[in-house]
Amino acid sequence: MSDKRKIAEAAIVRLSVYNRALGEIEKEGLEIISSDELGDRIGYHATQIRKDLSCFGEFGEVGKGYFVRDLRDAISRILGVDRKWNVALAGAGHLGSALLAYPGFRQRGFNIVAVFDNDLAKIGKKWEGIVIQDTSELAKTVKEQDIRIGIIAVSPQVSQEIVDTLTSCGVRAILNFAPASITVGEGVELRNVDLATELECLSYFLTNEAEVRTEVLRKIKNNNGEGG
């Protein structure tokens, strides 16, 4: 019943997880997989998977399952990763250089084609085949290179400023690592990755372990699995 209007963000995240898992399954040589087995591997209910997919079409074969390759292609199309995206990286510090060095992004179609910094010691240097540019060149480069996605790996103090520069150049998708409350205009998608928040969630869990354990036991009694 292909209807893209009411797709939950959480469902999109799951599609990406399905895709990664399908990649692993493909490597193992499996050609067909049921929603049940896929769910087992990644810790979701089979119905969740089928429901998520049903928003976009029918990809399975009744009584059989899903052709791994076909489903992967379908999800890739849905996510828009059946193409290349040019990405700009702002901030060539510790985190920025790790991101730049990571081959996984390119493998998935995300090419970091430009890196910006304001540190004169870095500007002009070539890292991973890319010359680090001054932030003043951002607007020009974004247009020239058709950059659609920006990654923020600068200090929190300047993150909003860099986001504004990027969006004013037409960048409509931003992945932010700076622990700051960034705001963007409508039509711009912002995703925040706050690693301190991740650790704080773990701290909460450890601090409140007993209560959580009770919850886990209740869930197990109701025959639920691991949550991923």
Ligand X SMILES: NC(=O)c1ccc[n+]([C@@H]2O[C@H](COP(=O)([O-])OP(=O)(O)OC[C@H]3O[C@@H](n4cnc5c(N)ncnc54)[C@H](O)[C@@H]3O)[C@@H](O)[C@H]2O)c1
List of residues contacting DNA (CB under 7 A):
1, 6, 8-11, 34-36, 44-48, 50-51, 53-54, 58-66, 222-224
Q: What is the DSSP letter of 89?
A: E
Does position 45 interact with its own copies (CB under 8 A)? The reply is no
For position 206 contacting its own copies by CB under 8 A, the verdict is yes
Least gap, CB of 52 to DNA (angstroms)? 7
Give the separation between CA 116 and CA 132, rounded to whole angstroms.
Answer: 6
| 3-state secondary structure (DSSP) of residue 126 | strand
Instruction: Indicate which of ligand X, its own copies, DNA, none lies near residue 18 (CB less than 5 to 8 Å, by partner kind).
Output: none
Q: Which one of DNA, its own copies, ligand X, none interacts with residue 12, CB within 5 to 8 A by kind? A: its own copies
Edge-to-edge strands, sheet with 130-134: 126-127, 130-134, 110-117, 85-90, 149-152, 173-176, 189-192
For residue 71, give the 3-state DSSP assignment.
Answer: helix
CB-wise, 41 or 143, nearer to DNA? Answer: 41
Cβ atoms of 115 and 140 within 8 Å: the answer is: no
Secondary structure E strands in the chain = 32-33, 66-67, 85-90, 110-117, 126-127, 130-134, 149-152, 173-176, 189-192
* Interface of this chain with its own copies, residues 127 to 156, rule: CB under 8 A: 148-149
CB-nearer residue toward its own copies: 59 or 105: 105
Least CB distance to its own copies at residue 186 (A):
5
Query: Which of 47, 155, 168, 203 lies at the binding interface for ligand X (CB under 6 A)?
Result: 155
Q: Which residues bind ligand X (CB under 6 A)?
A: 90-96, 98-99, 102, 104, 116-119, 135, 153-156, 158, 162, 177-179, 195
